[in-house]
Structure 1
């Protein structure tokens, strides 16, 4: 939304409330203008997220979200052009799913006797078991994760639906991959370091210090409580996958996708998977994950 507002300011348009024509012209601009990071126009999936962010910002401000039919027609044409030229950007790059075998391999790379290792282990296990986005994980405070007789009860703000959800995470059968035991280990380690309240996932330096001060040009930067950013949480996943020698694209979303894939292979129905992970009804992302999981287990060619 920040980039959209800047573009509107440079072109004399109003970002909020925006008209359908403004959003359409912005999407056309994005399909033609190289980004500063890659030197080429954004991928269609990135433009989809930009459209969604504009609509979300309108709803958050109490405004009617602009109609996006024209913008999506432009986006469809952009996808077609990329496909005709066999541009790799035409094919969305999906995060590799962190299914149980790969998750175990990632956990095996951690030194769980350290504070950082205990944090990373819980981040991987809770991200998987709660089907959480990294943006949702980093908003958790210690008070949001309660241990009960049956497991963890995690109060999580779901990013897409903007609702708080109580996610039940049961004990794992194997202690090394049990999110309840991992939560207990991190709490104990943080308490020893003097932290009993505040963010669940915090910055830890190579000396094991929690939330070391960060400055730029003499000015403090970053969350003063030391709360991890979504990018830093995603880096935990990528580092563990690299250390385990895993091939593919490993991102923070690998945990959420891995849960959906493994749950479906284990026989869970679509409704239960969607409710547990906080997916919106009819989520196309979830349906894509389910189709991937069913590719072999429910293959219509089998037995013909």
Structure 2
């Protein structure tokens, strides 16, 4: 019986890391053509060093670059700096096009991944040319480099004292807006887990029943997070679950008959909104933002958001993302007086700049300039 040839290093990495069949080798091959020899050692190292999200972004970004080259009737393998520069101008919105304008951080990511693809293929990297460097600088001047931050969903909203009543869009009001059926119980469990753990959407949807330990004598529990975006060594982490969150999980599991497997599952409804079924498959990561937006609209319809008008509601819905509760958790911790190291350790942040950026608006409201302005305002 014939035996198959031994797997190459890159193919072994594909199997080991669970990369989709349409793997990075195929993506780079599609980009540069069949006649180009790919540096498989470099590709193997990249697949072992990159997270799953990075590999996914790499494939997506190469697809976009390939589409751009085809629109200019240029073969990607022979595309030059002028083609990259034109792409940057269109992405930055400095040149008229039907292509949606991107944030500068997104453009930078595209260029990094495209450049890696050319280097993996042993080709000259068109993204490293001086022309491209100047176009990047021009794009930064046009767009600015400040990243858009998701609007925060804090537990009680934008309040300076954690003992104050809940205000506006906040976790407390979204919990009140949850339905009393299986859909609402699933949503309430999702909200509470997201707040207790500051988990990313990929971490939330990856939770299995077996990952939850407890409750203990006080009703609290622990969530085991096997891996995350920043956990390159796959060491895992533990996150605290409050008694209220554990109770919400129990209610959802009982109503949805969730005994094992994925915890947060898809709930389908009939046309009239009544429950049709609780699925066995886990939520898709993109569903998290949609759930938050649906609950905000429902809270507004129930009059839980005060005097908020439709225009402000739409601004909220546009600014919300799956990161919104994670941002809110950071802000609530700053208000509670927690130090930066403790926040980073508890919620698995590796970059202090990210956490400080989340707290920047609170700092502006409570800093020296705010206190001085308030004092003179009172004297006036």
TM-score normalised over the length of structure 2: 0.58
1:243 and 2:310 aligned: no
- CA drift of 1:240 comes to 0.9
1:155 and 2:155 aligned: no
Q: How many pairs are equivalent?
A: 258
CA distance in 2, matches of 1:136, 1:260: 17
* Larger helix proportion of the pair: 2
Q: Which residue of 2 aligns with 1:204?
A: 267
**Closer, same or farther in 2 for the Cα pair 1:276/1:91, shift >3 Å?**
same
**Closer, same or farther in 2 for the Cα pair 1:72/1:299, shift >3 Å?**
farther
- CA drift of 1:127 comes to 0.9
CA distance in 2, matches of 1:50, 1:128: 32
Q: Which has the larger radius of gyration?
A: 2
**Closer, same or farther in 2 for the Cα pair 1:137/1:170, shift >3 Å?**
closer
1:166 and 2:237 aligned: yes
1:104 and 2:172 aligned: yes
Q: Which residue of 2 aligns with 1:137?
A: 204
- CA drift of 1:164 comes to 4.5
Q: Which residue of 2 aligns with 1:95?
A: 150
Q: Which residue of 2 aligns with 1:117?
A: 184
Structure 1 counterpart SS, 2:106: helix
Q: Which residue of 2 aligns with 1:183?
A: 249
Within the candidate set 56, 59, 63, 1:2 is matched to 59
CA distance in 1, matches of 2:129, 2:198: 31
Within the candidate set 325, 328, 335, 1:258 is matched to 328
- CA drift of 1:300 comes to 4.6
Q: Which residue of 1 aligns with 2:90?
A: 32
Q: Which residue of 2 aligns with 1:291?
A: 360
- CA drift of 1:296 comes to 2.1
CA contact (8 A) 2:88 2:135 kept: no
Q: Which residue of 1 aligns with 2:284?
A: 229
CA distance in 1, matches of 2:89, 2:194: 33
Provide Cα deviations, 1:32-80, integer angstroms capped at 9, x if missing partner: 2499xx742322243355467x49x99xx9xxxx998987875443131
Provide Cα deviations, 1:204-242, integer angstroms capped at 9, x if missing partner: 11124122xxxxxxxxxxxxx421111112111111112
CA distance in 1, matches of 2:86, 2:355: 28
Q: Which residue of 1 aligns with 2:11?
A: none
Q: CA RMSD in A?
A: 3.5
**Closer, same or farther in 2 for the Cα pair 1:27/1:189, shift >3 Å?**
farther
Within the candidate set 143, 151, 157, 1:82 is matched to 143
TM-score normalised over the length of structure 1: 0.71
